[in-house]
Chain A
Amino acid sequence: MKRLWKIFKAGIIYENPLLMLMIGLCSALAVTTNVSNGVGMGLAMTFVMLFSEVIISLFRKVIPNSARMPIFIIVIAAFTTIIDLVMKAYFPELSKSMGVFIPLIVVNCIIMGRVEAFASKEKVLDCVADSLGMGLGYTWVLVGIAAFRELLGNGTLAGLQVMPASFEPILFFILPPGGFLVFALFISLNIWLKGRMQKASAKAEAKAEEVAA
Chain B
Amino acid sequence: MTKIFIIALLINNVVLMRFLALCSYVGMTSDVGQSVGMGFAVTFVTVLATAATWPLYNFVLLPLGLGFLQILVFILVIASLVQLVEFYLKKNVPGLYAAMGIYLPLITTNCAILAVTFENISNGYSFIESIVYAVGVSLGYLLAMVLLAGVRIRIKNSPVPKFLKGTPILFAATSLIAIAFMGFSGLVK
The docked-state distance in angstroms from the alpha carbon of A113 to that of B71 is 19
User: How many Å from the CB of B82 to the closest CB on chain A?
Assistant: 13
The docked-state distance in angstroms from the alpha carbon of A70 to that of B16 is 31
With contacts A73-B79, A192-B163 taken as known, whether A187 is within 8 angstroms of B171 at the C-beta atoms is yes
Q: Which residues of A contact B72 (CB under 8 A)?
A: 74, 77-78, 81
Q: Chain B contact residues: over half helix, strand or loop, or mixed?
A: helix
User: How many Å from the CB of B79 to the closest CB on chain A?
Assistant: 7
Q: Which residues of B contact A29 (CB under 8 A)?
A: 19, 22
Q: Is B178 an interface residue (CB 8 A)?
A: yes
Q: Is B156 an interface residue (CB 8 A)?
A: no
User: How many Å from the CB of B162 to the closest CB on chain A?
Assistant: 9
Q: Which residues of B contact A187 (CB under 8 A)?
A: 166-168, 171
Residues of B in contact with A (beta carbons under 8 Å apart): 16-23, 68-72, 75-76, 79, 109-111, 114-115, 118-119, 122, 163-164, 166-172, 174-176, 178-179, 182
Q: Which residues of A contact B19 (CB under 8 A)?
A: 26-27, 29-30, 176, 179
Contact check, B179 vs A188: say whether CB atoms are below 8 A apart.
Answer: no
The docked-state distance in angstroms from the alpha carbon of A109 to that of B119 is 21
Closest 9 interchain pairs by CB? A184-B171, A180-B175, A177-B178, A30-B19, A181-B175, A77-B72, A29-B19, A184-B172, A188-B168
Contact check, A107 vs B75: say whether CB atoms are below 8 A apart.
Answer: yes
User: How many Å from the CB of A206 to the closest CB on chain B?
Assistant: 25
Smallest CB gap from B25: residue in A = A26
User: How many Å from the CB of A82 to the closest CB on chain B?
Assistant: 9
Q: Which residues of B contact A99 (CB under 8 A)?
A: 122
Contact check, A180 vs B68: say whether CB atoms are below 8 A apart.
Answer: no
What would 4 more interface pairs be, CB under 8 Å, given A25-B23, A191-B168?
A80-B71, A177-B179, A183-B171, A184-B174
Contact check, B71 vs A185: say whether CB atoms are below 8 A apart.
Answer: no
Question: Could you jot down 11 A-B contacts, CB within 8 Å?
Answer: A84-B71, A107-B75, A107-B111, A175-B178, A176-B19, A177-B178, A181-B171, A181-B175, A183-B171, A185-B168, A187-B171
The docked-state distance in angstroms from the alpha carbon of A81 to that of B71 is 6
With contacts A100-B122, A176-B19, A184-B168 taken as known, whether A85 is within 8 angstroms of B75 at the C-beta atoms is no
Partner of B169, one of A178, A184, A192: A184
User: How many Å from the CB of A153 to the closest CB on chain B?
Assistant: 14
The docked-state distance in angstroms from the alpha carbon of A66 to that of B77 is 19
Contact check, A175 vs B168: say whether CB atoms are below 8 A apart.
Answer: no
Q: Is A103 an interface residue (CB 8 A)?
A: yes
The docked-state distance in angstroms from the alpha carbon of A100 to that of B120 is 11
Q: Is A163 an interface residue (CB 8 A)?
A: no
Q: Which residues of A contact B164 (CB under 8 A)?
A: 184, 188
Q: Is A136 an interface residue (CB 8 A)?
A: no
The docked-state distance in angstroms from the alpha carbon of A80 to that of B20 is 18
Q: Is A94 an interface residue (CB 8 A)?
A: no
User: How many Å from the CB of B178 to the closest CB on chain A?
Assistant: 4
Q: Is A104 an interface residue (CB 8 A)?
A: yes
Interface centre among B110, B171, B172 (most CB of A within 10 A): B171
User: How many Å from the CB of A148 to the closest CB on chain B?
Assistant: 15
Interface positions of A from 21 to 44, Cβ below 8 Å from B: 25-27, 29-30
Contact check, B182 vs A175: say whether CB atoms are below 8 A apart.
Answer: yes
The docked-state distance in angstroms from the alpha carbon of A27 to that of B16 is 14
Q: Is A18 an interface residue (CB 8 A)?
A: no
User: How many Å from the CB of B142 to the closest CB on chain A?
Assistant: 18
